[in-house]
Amino acid sequence: MTGRELKRSIIPGTLSFSIKLGQTLRENRGSAGDMLAPLQALFSDSIYGECRLIFTGKIIDKATRIIGGYDIGEAVIEVLDRDESPLTVSIKNEYLLACQGDKVIASVPDLIVIVDYETSTPINAERLRYGQRVAVFAVGCPDFYRSDAALKVVAPRCFGFDIRLCATRANNLARDSVVPL
């Protein structure tokens, strides 16, 4: 790819931000709770905006299967120290929807990031395993992903999620076909 092609195809400032993010992660190694403040400071001045720690707990279930070339399924995370509903994260190669009971906590186009609780090392969907202690972060998306044109290709329904059915899970939330809203 040429420099001109690269400039046309990336979000401005993303490469510089990625370097700053890497530096922040390297300089502030430690538990997810300790990482929150440095991450919030970094993201607050970025095109992404807010970074929130939305859940911590242990993976108590993960089921995925390959459908049409996609790793599709969900993971269930149980909170460790409180009596609280578990968090269910729907997967389609990436983390796309996080629900607690009947409430959507985070969804595409925002980013859902799962990290090891003790080290803050990111865990991609294929490496997520039963018993891992994790923290789940939600990071806002750049504003242009919320435009009508962008939402036609990045809204939850574009990935097969009917978020109105989060409570009943009637369509399993991670099907390979789009569920119209």
What's the confidence (pLDDT) of residue 169?
43
Q: Is 15 inside any structural domain?
A: no
Instruction: Indicate the average pLDDT of the chain.
Output: 86
Is 59 within a domain? yes
In a domain, 87, yes or no: yes
Q: How far apart are the first and last CA of the chain?
A: 38
pLDDT, position 15? 84
The Cα–Cα gap between 53 and 37 comes to 10
Question: Given this model, what pLDDT does residue 165 score?
Answer: 55
Question: In what helix (H) or strand (E) does residue 111 lie, and over which residues does it extend?
Answer: strand 111-116
The pLDDT tens digits for 102-157 are 899 999 999 999 999 999 999 999 999 999 999 999 999 988 888 999 999 999 99
| Amino acid (one-letter) located at 12 | P
pLDDT tens digits, residue range 70-117? 899 999 999 987 788 999 999 999 999 999 988 999 999 999 999 999
Q: What is the pLDDT of residue 174?
A: 36
Highest mean pLDDT out of 40-44, 81-85, 156-160, 172-176: 40-44
Pinpoint the alpha helices (H) of the chain: 3-9, 14-27, 32-44, 148-154
Q: Identify the CATH number of the domain in which residue 124 sits.
A: 2.40.390.10
Give the tens place of pLDDT for each residue, 2-39.
Answer: 989 988 888 888 889 999 999 998 998 889 989 999 99
Residue 174 resides in a domain: no
Instruction: Please report whether residue 103 resides in a domain.
Output: yes
Q: What is the spatial distance between Cα 138 and Cα 135, in angstroms, rounded to a whole number? A: 10
What's the domain count of the chain? 1
Residue 45, token pair as written in the block? 């001045």
- Please calculate the CA angle 111-112-114 and round it to the nearest 5 degrees: 140
Indicate whether 47 belongs to any domain: yes
Which residue range is the domain that position 48 belongs to?
31-165
- Residue 46 belongs to a domain: yes
In a domain, 13, yes or no: no
Fill in the DSSP letter of residue 171: T
Residues of the chain with pLDDT > 70, as a percent, come to: 90
Asked if the model's pLDDT at residue 178 lies above 50, the reply is no
